[in-house]
Amino acid sequence: MAEQVGISRMAVHGIWREHKLKPHQVKGFKVSNDPLFAEKLRDVVGLYLDPPEKAIVFSVDEKSQIQALDRSQPGLPMKPGKCGTMTHDYKRHGTTTLFAALDVQTGTVIGQCQPRHRHDEFLKFLKTIDRRTDKTLALHLIVDNYATHKHAEVKDWLAQHPRFHLHFTPTSASWLNLVERFFRDITEERIRRGVFHSVDDLKTAIQEYLDHRNSNPKPYHWTAKPETILAKVDKAKDMLRTLH
């Protein structure tokens, strides 16, 4: 920009700073085009803010292709004034998929590692949830629009288990599913910096994290009301329309 307008780089920097402009920073966003966005939004957020009685609300999803990465050399320990270090290269030992059901009210997580994430594995996970919950309670599961969740065999099983109720988030709105926050936490706190010599090591680490979390669970608190979210979405759509 300095070359284009014929002034110094420091002058450009000063102008940007004065107007609080940071062109090097970019934030991502995605506006859903789901025609039933508002309806689905109110349904999901309603479960967060006003959960039904005699029921458990679960936020459910899969974190697929979690890699068991082993560093090519051992890491160096943390020392006074220096952070711990690890090599930039690594060995791949395979992957696993973590199926997780976050109890929205208590913060506990039912988790299960499986080799793939097809409808067969999702059915297996639904049966696990069925076994590990009070049979007298209704179960409301918030899920995304992945085809696995809508498979014919899944629908048949759900029809035979009427206490299960699936609630679908709008398309391109994974941020509405609270379990994504759990996936962020387990990634940052356990997986990303981990060293795993095998898939079994990775699965053991995930289970240990789940056990530790569930021993002292802390729920995520949803506070945004549907009207607030819809107003922001409408504002974003109006801005997009001005660019065309």
Where do the domains of the chain lie, and which CATH numbers do they carry? 2-76+84-241 (3.30.420.10)
Question: pLDDT tens string for the chain (244 positions)?
Answer: 888 889 999 999 999 999 988 888 887 767 788 889 999 999 999 999 999 999 999 999 999 999 998 887 777 777 888 777 777 777 888 999 999 999 999 999 999 999 998 999 999 999 999 999 999 999 999 999 999 999 999 999 999 999 999 999 999 888 999 999 999 999 999 998 888 999 999 999 999 999 999 999 999 999 999 999 989 888 888 887 886 5
* DSSP string for residues in 164-222: EEEEEPPTT-GGG-THHHHHHHHIIIIITT---SSHHHHHHHHHHHHHHHHHS------
- The length of the chain is 244
- The model's pTM: 0.83
The tens digit of pLDDT for each residue in 224-237 reads 999 999 898 888 88
Residue 93, exposed/middle/buried by CB under 10 A (0-12, 13-18, 19+)?
middle
What distance in Å separates the CA atoms of residue 5 and residue 16, rounded to the nearest whole number? 14
The tens digit of pLDDT for each residue in 140-175 reads 999 999 999 999 999 999 999 999 999 999 998 889
| Residue 110, beta-bridge partner list | 101
